[in-house]
Amino acid sequence: MASGESSAESAVTPGAVRVALLGCGTVGTEVVRLITEQADDLTARVGAPVELAGVAVRRPHRHPWLTETHGHLVTTDAAALATRDDVDAVVEVIGGIEPVRGWLLAALAAGKSVVTANKALLAEDGPTLAEAADASGADLYYEAAVAGAIPLLRPLRESLAGDRITRVAGIVNGTSNFILSAMSSGGTSYADALEEATRLGYAEADPSADVDGYDAASKAAILASLAFHTRITASDVHREGMRGVSAADVAAARRLGCTIKLLAICERVVDEAPDGSVAESVSARVYPAMVPDSHPLAGVDGAFNAVFVEAEAAGQLMFYGQGAGGAPTASAVLGDLVAVARNRTGGGRSPRESAYADLPVRPIGEVPTRYHVDLEVADREGVLATIAGAFAKQGVSIAAVRQTGGVFGAADGDPGQARLTVVTHSAPEAALSATVSALLELDIVPGVAGVLRVEGLGRAVAALGMGE
């Protein structure tokens, strides 16, 4: 700890672990509150006091509570605070890549431990942060970056460190889940559900990060990196958002006994060659998919998150809780901060990041899933045979076909159209895409109304007795 601080800084308790907080929005405010209100508990748990050394915000006048209660700690100079001599740990809850990356790298280089909730930065450049932490022997923790309050990264990094994880799959974006839940329960359109989410504060003015899957893709990259000891960035994650999910899709899912969820799926894929050699790869992807109502993920509504983890020895695990919000996220931040403080006082370090497995990323075209395809077709003899032929030509096997909806278009003098729903067996994405293209070339197929994946969630489902 440095001596000779200016009087504008807070008094330093001897032996205290001193924390610089960067950002003081919803999460930061709760972090300040918890550090202050639970000071005695934290001291007892750590073996030393944990105290705020400073709070950096861009516009102090926008934080009346903070300036009133902790005015002497407030600064607008985050860069200086992050490397100040009297700071042991930096908690970052601002988000975004720049200028935060530079601040955190400088803090780590100066030996400050870092606790961050910044999923975008971690998914883009986590390894650089990890290297900086290794170089100076500082800690890097980021439990709050994925699934808010749910202890998920520590279990993956530590509890399952002696096991082989095969899959991590779940609902990791509360905003899109809230919208899908509203569409599912209320039969409302995407636009109306988004409007409600925005009104209630679940969605931001620009909802793109949530509804286009960028947020979930960042989280998938972090989860896949930890689970498979391989460097996966957000750009490695196949990403489809949920803007395209229509009320008709929701209704179609319901007819199948399914619910549509925006899923993040990270899998270890093992291919055995004819010569018996084995090649492993990682698939990380985010998209809306139909989930059987009997699967626990189907019942995860509103802003909640839930993640299934499968490992060879542990079998199937599920983690459930609040994925966002000030207090839940702050809980995760504080847990990490206690770990940092324990390490500072007792020696020790956060587990090092490891990318030793260095598995290749499997292209989405080679990832097999089941599909639900909604087709508009001419209501004519022989249509089914033609369509079945188009699927067969691409090697996509059909599990079920159903004519849904009545005849339509007949009033226009047209011979009449019907709607055909096809559910496939597992097929690679590339084969399905080729099938859809081929179908659209047929004059008996005026349009493809919807294509959605159906995720049985494999072994997870089998374990729950649902089969696939």
Binding residues vs a copy of itself (CB under 8 A): 30, 34, 38, 41-42, 44-45, 47, 143, 149-151, 154-155, 158-164, 229, 296, 299, 311-322, 325, 327-328, 330-339, 342-343, 346-349, 351-352, 354, 356-357
Reduced to 3 states (helix: H, G, I; strand: E, B; else coil), residue 362 is coil
Grouping H, G, I as helix, E, B as strand and the rest as coil, residue 213 is coil
Cβ–Cβ < 8 Å for 1, 345: no
- Residue whose structure tokens are 């500072």: 344
Smallest distance from a copy of itself to CB 261, Å: 17
In 116-188, which ranges are continuous DSSP H helix? 119-136, 153-154, 174-186
Q: Least distance from C-beta 278 to a copy of itself, angstroms? A: 14
> Closer to a copy of itself at the Cβ: 42 or 242?
42
Q: How far apart are CB 99 and a copy of itself at their closest, in Å?
A: 27
Give Dmax over CA atoms of the chain in angstroms: 90
Closest distance between a copy of itself and the C-beta of residue 284, in Å? 20
Residue 337 vs 432, nearer CB to a copy of itself: 337
Burial class (CB in 10 A: 0-12, 13-18, 19+), 16: buried
Burial class (CB in 10 A: 0-12, 13-18, 19+), 40: exposed
Around 387, how many Cα atoms within 13 Å sit in the side-chain half-sphere? 31
127 burial (CB, 10 Å; 0-12 / 13-18 / 19+) is middle
Is 248 or 317 the residue whose CB approaches a copy of itself more closely?
A: 317
CB of 218 to a copy of itself, least distance (A): 20
Rounded (5°) CA angle 191-196-197:
95
Report how far residue 58's alpha carbon sits from residue 440's, in angstroms, rounded to the nearest whole number. Answer: 53
Chain centre distance of CA 41: 31
Minimum CB–partner distance for residue 154 and a copy of itself (Å): 5
Residue 269 one-letter amino acid:
V
Q: Cβ distance 398 to 391 under 8 Å?
A: yes
User: 125 with 234: CB under 8 angstroms?
Assistant: no
> At its nearest, how many Å lie between a copy of itself and the CB of residue 360?
17
User: To which H or E segment does residue 162 belong?
Assistant: none
DSSP helix/strand/coil, 16: coil
Task: Report which of 354, 110, 223 is spatially closest to residue 215, judged by C-alpha positions.
Answer: 223
Residue 220 to residue 232: CA distance in whole angstroms = 9
Nearest distance, CB of residue 72 and a copy of itself, angstroms: 23
Cβ–Cβ under 8 Å, residues 266 and 240: no
Q: Is 219 a catalytic residue?
A: yes
Q: Which of 112, 219, 261, 393 is catalytic?
A: 219
Query: Which residues are the active-site residues?
Result: 219
